[in-house]
Structure 1
Amino acid sequence: MKISLILAAVLTLPAFAQDAAHVNPLLTQSPLPLHYPPFDKIQDGDFGPALERGMAEQLAEVGAITGNPAEPTFENTIVALEKSGRLLDRTSTVLFSLLGADSNDARRKVQADYAAKLAAHRDAISLNDKLFARIDTLYQQRDKLGLQPDAVRLIERYRLNFVRAGAQLNEAQKTRMKAINAELAALSAKFTTEVLAEVNDSAVVVDTKEELAGFTDEQIAGAAAAAKARGLDGKYLIALLNTTGQPPLAQLENRALRERIFKASIARGSRGNAHDTTGIVARTMALRAERAQLLGFATYADFALSDQTAKNKEAVNKMLRQLAPAAVATARREGGEMQKLVDAEQAAKKQPTFTLEAWDWSYYSEKLRAAKYGFDESQLKPYLELNNVQRNGVFYAAGQLYGLTFKERKDLPVYHPDVKVFDVFNADGKQLAIFISDMYARPSKRGGAWMNAYVSQSGLLGEMPVVANHLNIPKPPDGKPTLLTWDEVNTMFHEFGHALHGMFSNVQYPSQAGTAVPRDYVEYPSQVNEMWAAWPSVLANYAKHYQTGEAMPQQLLDKLMAGKKFNQGFMTTEYLSASMLDQRWHQIPAGKVPAGDKAMAFEAQVLKEEGYDYAAVWPRYRTPYFSHIMSGYAAGYYGYIWAEVLDADTVEWFKANGGLKRANGDTFRAKLLSRGGSVDAMDLFRNLVGHEPDIEPLLERRGMVLTTEGKK
């Protein structure tokens, strides 16, 4: 069974009314290829009964392990745990995947109803004294059992996870731990619901078409359709994404409208309305700090980072503070260049100038890009049509590097009409996986971009991967092409890097499959995959005009490559400031966390103390809508740039060995992508590139030089 599920999800729950003729498809393994979920047969009412039975079955399976009179062995304890909880795993995987990709009231109610109960189930297993005793016995004997290294590592991982869950606490401490876990689970579910509701409620209504100057006809039509869908005929609606910056800010000429959109974005979750999340965040941080203290750690960050490649908060703080001065200095230089554009533009209009603000940055950065490099996003987009980028870019690169081929299939059910499904084949023609592609934004979908596995690879269970990628690309009106920004292209390659990590998994035990690696390492393989977006032969294969099929002109390609370091000060600063917010929230000791009504003041204090009080650049996520840190990236948002050090080093390895060729892909797959969590993460990196991580390639990539302060 997956460790994440041992440490995830029973109690007797009320029966659910069901159609007598309906057979709950979650209760048995899917008969579809690779056990692909039968989305067309799953009803929302199926989740509760399947969770209930799944938890009961797993407790019975654990009871059989602890009640076994035989001495503990790897097979009767660890392997038995790996095989347990299959129904619960299957059900919760589908439920929580759909809560992200296509949520609705019924599914959110299941999440809310079961959050604390799933936490209680998790505790019933991870705080089971008899079970821990068997695991600990095997741990003490692990070097004498004659096991393979991956099996020894699995024993070590089980013991560590149980200890981190509180297995060694006394009974009073365990009681308190259970209460904390139940409340945290309920808070997490509520936060997710409120963030989605708030991002939808905060959409900006525009009265006139004239205010949308700078939008394309397709975007205007889309905004009109969105308004009509909400009963606002004759008006226009600009939906928000769950990030601070909003894509329309790069195009809209109306400064007052840009300001409205930006201020609506940053106010989310802290407006004092029904969807205000500041109290949820503050309470969550307080409970996490108390939980860490129970386990013997000074702060939650100490607890979380002790199980990452970074190891401790001092290492993370050092890196973030080393990069911050260079990033902010670069952003200020970029802002200064844009201010000159503002001044010149206003002088030409014979109007008073104004100070560059956060809502102006994207708009004037595109103007600056055009002035410096001779192009802007509007020139690129006709050459970046969604299907072409995916099939002739993302898939093409995977074919060149790994020998993969893809075939769309329309016979498998999907949970939304926009979703596409592909069979993935190895070079020898044998099926590797099924890939689900879900690219468009919609009100039922959470913000951001992510990968998840519906079925994880496992030799023990005979499972092959079914993985999905999700983006939030605005969907154009019917019949219109989906033209991407360069950032969206990059994101598509990034998320497919995660998909490759899942699809190439070749391990025995499900707990070690695919992306089951440290949080500050999991982004590394996906960031490496971004390099192929701009690789000349790949770019030439997909960057073709959506109407004429003509290749992107070489002159524009050259300009794109020349501008790769453009705006890096802004992008690095907005990311680092969010990362430091995450750290500072989680580095507060128990009893010291500010209350919800002080949350925004604490955020402002942190940004000022850490040198991010540059008004033109805000954190990529503010505290009230920082979904990463309310889920799996708590005290871990730094991991993107931590992993980018490894990524930039690995890109240099690829280049030194000839770039896009099968030999390199096969080596990367065999030495790293296929190993999942069966080997220490940093050992995998060292075995590939042959040396310790070096920060210089990252700095060169971002066009930054460490200041004297950063070098200290």
Structure 2
Amino acid sequence: MSTATTHPTADLPAENPLAQPSPLPFGLPPFAELTLEHCREALLAGMAAQRAEVTALTGSADEPTFENTVVALERSGELLHRAQVVFYALASSNSSERLREIEREVSPLSAAHSDALRLDPELFARIDAVHAAVAAGGHGLDAEAVRLVERYHLDFVLAGAQLDEAGREQLRALNQQLSQLSTTFGQNLVVATEAAAVLVTDRAELAGLSEAEIAAAATAATERGREGYLLTLVLPSGQPAMAKLADRGLRCRLHEASVTRASTGEHDNGPVAAQIAHVRAVRARLLGFDTHADLVAADQTAKTSTAVDALLATLVPPSVANARAEGEVLAELAAADGVELAAWDWAFYSEQVRRDRYAVDTAALRPWFELDRVLVDGVFHAARLLYGYTFTPRPDLHGYHPDVRVWEVADAAGEPVGLYLGDFYARDGKRGGAWMSSFVSQSRLLDAKPVVFNVLNVTRAAAGQPTLLTLDEVTTLFHEFGHTLHGLSSAVTYPRFSGTSVPRDFVEFPSQVNEMWALWPEVLAHYAVHTETGEPLGAEVVAAIEAASLWGEGHGTLEYLAATLLDQAWHRITPDTVVEDPQAFEAAALQAAGVASDLVPPRYRTTYFTHVFAGGYSAGYYSYIWSEVLDADTVEWFKANGGLTRANGDTFRGELLSRGGSVDPLGAFRAVVGREPDPAPLLRRRGLG
């Protein structure tokens, strides 16, 4: 196998816990025995092992077949995969200086390893031969196997397998750069976000926060060896405390800390982002695409960046108009206090509108949303009603951090499904945001059941106090668990198609559907109970929440679209584009897209837009709204067919969740709903039509 990079080839010591499949239930990694050095050894040995497996494959004198080429590839790299899922979970959720050192070492090696596979002409020749044989017919394969061949062929083509040797060498160098730059971006952001936390020394400045929130801020300060109260940052621009803090000066400090993160000094991500965008532009042109956005869209349900533009163009004007109308209402409230409305005032006065106009005080709802009740009596309860799943705590099993809890999942017949892990609290060394991932992906080929986990960043309550969620955090938990259901429900043969292995602009669809159940009457009544009085959340409060649901959609949609269009702008540049000032580029891009607003900053600005510069969403952040078209339409289908029923759940699981990437995604949607997607429900939901 041809490669320009020298890799370590040392065998993995037998005492390394990753050397063999985990003996724990469902293959849960043996975290109690693992060290970072074990991970490093296994990553390096795993790359060497997979190269040896592929070398044996390409060196075979046998004619290429589905089994000896495509299935052999599916089976390869098990050691590397075991090591990767553990290491990258730690990198995101439990980082340390030593881990970051290893990440900087391993990241370029991993990129080179991937290139060594995808750019191996002998390997591609075998895949191409199988692909041609399948296209000619008479292959005797089932539909999932045929799709696997097609997917592998497209994967390799988009990765540059059809380039000549000079092109492959150039692509390897570009991928190395991207790997290093993305690692730098992510590590800069972790450090910069921790440094940007706002220290408050005068307790009076925290007026508006609850006693529990003030205690949590005190705990955060103590944990970092600081005196006073520390307001740590969540990933998006808008910080939850800004809706409650009465002190305008502190709101301003918190806002500025948020939107200027990683924009100056040694951890300035602006130049890093510009370099990433440039290298991606060069790579896209090398692969035959005009821009990186065109390259990305080619493997999504959107297919073209023109289709993405068409959707966004319908949303921008009404979103801007809605946000402007909301701003006028808020400006009047601010003027009554003798101030001119600013971005750091928006959430504060918006909360007043909810209280005064809709009789909804979202901050006051938190005692009804205790974390464990929301999870067990809300999220798990809905999954039982819809899909028959039950969740049994496994305190004998351990995750990668003491915060992580483990549940065993069974189906309605009591048969084992897999494991679910939850890591819910914010802490140093953990990147912001919320996500789902897998330690083990379901597949019949490898006889593997799923082990999936959710990560959130909820502020830990003071000792002895319950952890109370905001309504947004409740929605986030239901959302991320929607991804979990995608992973748990998987019933495919090949790992390549397992669970959430679907196009980026489809993957958010099932998770957004699951948000529906957060306020569904029989689910809400099961978990929304006051932590002190035991009083259920009143029906009149729920009605008010629903009545107020359109309030704030202007702001919410505009801040999302601003981030989406910023992502597109960075990834529509050409190799000749020179970006000398990333912040000026951002400002010009927002202005050109018609979404620039002093009052409504993008949900993510360039320097902390980790989704697109250190994650998998480059030129794909549009996928949330693209998926929401499908989501809103499917919610209508659920409601029209009786809502939260096992029959509906079984249809959604059987036709869509269980299929993963093994079928055409839009075909799976049609199998559930019975027709093509209709954007009208989305427009109604967001007050745009």
> What TM-score do you get using the length of structure 2 for normalisation?
0.97
Residue deviations 1:224-246 (CA, integer Å, cap 9, x gap): 2222333322x221111121111
1:134, distance to aligned residue in structure 2 (A): 0.6
Q: Does structure 1 residue 616 correspond to structure 2 residue 560? A: no
The partner residue of 2:675 within 691, 704, 709 is: 691
Map Cα deviations across residues 300-327 of structure 1 (whole Å, 9 max, x no partner).
Answer: 0011101101111111112112101111
1:256 pairs with 2:249? yes
Q: State which of 362, 371, 379 in structure 2 corresponds to 1:377.
A: 362
Letter in 2 for 1:621: Y
Equivalent in 390, 394, 399 of residue 414 of structure 1: 399
Counterpart of 2:638 (choices 648, 654, 666) is 654
Q: Deviations over 1:265-310 (max 9, x none)?
A: 1111212x01101111111111100000001101000111011011
Tell me by how many angstroms 1:97 deviates. 1.2
Supply the AA of the counterpart residue of 2:298: S
Structure-1 separation of matches of 2:539 and 2:634: 27
2:374 partner amino acid: V
2:9 and 2:44 in contact (8 A); partners too: no
Does residue 1:547 correspond to 2:532, yes or no?
yes
How far 1:144 sits from its partner (Å)? 2.4
Match of 1:43 in 2: 35
Partners of 1:563 and 1:259 in 2: CA distance: 26
| Distance change >3 Å, CA 9–CA 558, structure 1 → 2 | farther
Give the match's secondary structure for 1:470: strand
Structure 2: 5+ residue stretches without partners:
none
1:12 aligns with 2:4: no
1:163-203 CA-to-partner distances (Å, cap 9, x unmatched) read: 11111111111111010011110111111110000000011
Please state how far the C-alpha of 1:593 moved relative to its aligned partner.
4.2
CA contact (8 A) 1:449 1:471 kept: yes
Equivalents in 1 of 2:262, 2:399: separation in Å?
Answer: 32
1:239 partner letter: T
Other structure's SS at 2:18 match = helix
Instruction: Tell me the residue number matched to 1:607.
Output: 590
Which residues in structure 2 correspond to 1:464-613 (within 5 Å)? 464-595=449-580, 598-613=581-596
Over aligned residues, Cα RMSD in angstroms?
1.6
Runs of 4+ in 1 over 6 A off after TM superposition: none
Deviation by residue 1:32-65 (Cα, 9 ceiling, x = unmatched): 0000011110011111211121111111110111
- 1:507 is aligned with what amino acid? V
CA distance in 1, matches of 2:663, 2:9: 43
1:117 aligns with 2:112: no
**2:191 alignment counterpart:** 197
Aligned to 2:181: 187
For 1:376-427, what per-residue CA distance to the aligned partner results, in whole angstroms no more than 9, with x for missing partners? 1122111111111111110000011111111111001222221111011100
The alignment partner of 1:674 has SS state of: helix
Q: Please state how far the C-alpha of 1:101 moved relative to its aligned partner.
A: 1.4
Q: Which whole-Å CA distance do the structure 1 matches of 2:586 and 2:377 have between them?
A: 43
Find the residue that maps to 1:444 and give its secondary structure.
coil
Shift of 1:11: 4.0
Letter in 2 for 1:223: A
- Whether contact under 8 Å (1:9, 1:119) holds in the other structure is no
Identity across matched positions, percent: 50
1:25 aligns to what SS in structure 2? coil
User: C-alpha offsets along residues 490-541 of structure 1, whole Å, 9 cap, x if unaligned?
Assistant: 0000000000000000000000100000000000000000111111111111
- Partner residue of 1:59? 51
2:172 to 138, 155, 178: 178
Say if 2:115 is the partner of 1:130: no
Alpha carbons of structure 1 residues 14 and 666: separation in structure 2 relative to 1, 3 Å: closer
Aligned to 2:454, what secondary structure does the other structure show?
Answer: strand
Closer, same or farther in 2 for the Cα pair 1:9/1:205, shift >3 Å? farther
- CA–CA separation in structure 1 for the residues paired with 2:659 and 2:578: 39
Letter in 2 for 1:240: L
Which whole-Å CA distance do the structure 1 matches of 2:279 and 2:160 have between them? 15
Q: 1:246 aligns to what?
A: 239
**Which deviations, in whole Å up to 9, do the C-alpha atoms of 1:544-600 show, x marking residues without a partner?**
1111222112221221222222211111111010000001110111121413xx111
Tell me, yes or no, if the aligned pair for 2:255 and 2:344 is still in contact at 8 Å.
Answer: yes
Match of 1:660, SS state, is coil
**Cα distance in 1 between the residues matched to 2:517 and 2:236:** 26
2:262 matched residue in structure 1: 269
- Matched residue, 2:331: 339
- Equivalent residues, number: 685
Q: Which residue of 2 aligns with 1:678?
A: 662
Tell me the CA shift for residue 641 of structure 1.
Answer: 0.4
> Does the CA-based 8 Å contact 2:398-2:405 persist in structure 1?
no
CA gap of 1:535–1:593, structure 2 versus 1, over 3 A, is farther
> Aligned partners of 1:182 and 1:703: how far apart in 2?
45
Bigger mean CA offset, 193-202 vs 330-339? 330-339
Report the equivalent of 2:446. 461
Q: Mapping of 1:32-111 within 5 angstroms?
A: 32-111=24-103
| In 2: Cα distance, 1:159 partner to 1:668 partner | 29
Deviations 1:622-654 (A, max 9, x none): 001100001200000000000000000000111
Q: 1:226 aligns with which of 197, 220, 232?
A: 220
Normalized against structure 1, the TM-score is what?
0.94
Q: In the alignment, which of 626, 629, 633 is matched to residue 617 of structure 2?
A: 633
The answer as to whether partners of 1:10 and 1:55 remain within 8 angstroms in 2 is no
Query: Secondary structure at the residue paired with 1:69?
Result: coil
* Aligned residue among 307, 310, 314 for 2:306: 314
SS in 2 for 1:446: coil
Gaps of at least 5 residues in structure 1 are 1-5, 347-352, 706-712
CA distance in 1, matches of 2:657, 2:7: 41
Whole-angstrom distance in 2 between the partners of 1:281 and 1:9: 27
Cα pair 1:375 1:556 within 8 Å, conserved: yes
Query: How far did 1:333 drift?
Result: 0.8
CA contact (8 A) 2:486 2:499 kept: yes
Distance 2:34 2:368 in 1: 39
